[in-house]
Copies of this chain bind each other. A is one copy, B any other.
Amino acid sequence: MKICIVGLGLIGGSYAMGLSLKGYEVYGIDQNQEAIKYAKKQNYIKDGYVDDFHILSECDCIILAIYPQAILDFLKQHSHLFQENQVLTDVCGVKSSFVRKATLLAGKAIYLSHHPMAGKEKIGIEYADSSIFKGANFLITPIDSLNAYAEEILKRIAQDLEFGRITTISIERHDQMIGFTSQLTHAIAVSLVNSDHDEDTVKFIGDSYRDLTRIAMINDVLWSELFLENKDYLLEHISSFEAELDILKNALKQDDKATLKKIFNRSTQIRRKMEK
């Protein structure tokens, strides 16, 4: 299969790496000549382009590994290059805000969005590593009806990158759930780290603090966009979280050991079901 990856960052680079290892013919597009040079040197791509995008017409699948707003700009500029039976997809962490628009801009090509639930607290193709996808959740997010051919292409890619569970759901349901599992999680980690007002904290941390706050090292450009594009769901989830924290706080204030135990038993049960 001939693939073009637009945006050779951490995720685009990891796709290029994993897919070329599986024998795909992979091409890359990036504004940054250095990223292309690196990708070629590592054999992640067969060739790469900074300003000549004729390659877009020749690929079976185009993976847009850039930010939501950049996707819309890119599609506007290059829609004349897309072909019938080409599958266009993206890897964005929010969907509702742009996928309908992207689908229109894709013209005769088939647009089918997806979300690889994997990453690293790093930026740039130098950190590319296709093993981050191993066993991870892969979400396919159609609007209205699902094109079977495009779904087949995405599933093949997911399997070749060794993703785990593949789930097909609407973009609205995607954003609702990701607002909880991803954005709320990041909001909490960031707020926890920012409430640290002590110089000596590092002497008092264990793995629990380390694990919980790793994602507080966060790409500010990407995540401010993701948060704002999904703000309604995110604000809702923050409220439910605060309600739970209030229950715990009240139990503490009232020295209510029985309720604390109930709270801990409940979280243990819910979380244990999620162990791999």
A271 touches B137 (CB 8 A): no
Residues of B within 8 A of A97 (CB): none
- Report A276 CB to chain B, min CB distance, Å: 8
| Selected interface stretch from A20-28, A52-60, A105-113, A180-188 | A180-188
B264 touches A224 (CB 8 A): yes
- Report A253 CB to chain B, min CB distance, Å: 7
A181 touches B204 (CB 8 A): yes
B202 touches A273 (CB 8 A): yes
- Report A193 CB to chain B, min CB distance, Å: 4
- Report A133 CB to chain B, min CB distance, Å: 11
User: How many copies are assembled?
Assistant: 2
A177 touches B200 (CB 8 A): yes
- Docked pose: A196 CA to B180 CA in angstroms: 8
Chain A interface residue count: which class?
Answer: 35 or more
Q: Enumerate chain A interface residues (CB-CB to B < 8 A).
A: 117-119, 136-137, 139, 165, 167, 174, 177-178, 180-182, 184-198, 200-221, 223-225, 227-228, 231, 234-235, 237-238, 240-245, 247-249, 252-253, 255, 257, 260-261, 263-268, 270-274
Listed A/B pairs (28) with beta-carbon separation below 8 Å: A117-B205, A118-B206, A118-B207, A136-B206, A136-B207, A137-B206, A167-B204, A177-B204, A182-B204, A182-B206, A185-B209, A187-B245, A187-B248, A190-B263, A191-B241, A194-B266, A195-B243, A196-B270, A202-B274, A213-B271, A217-B272, A218-B267, A220-B260, A225-B257, A227-B260, A228-B257, A238-B245, A242-B245
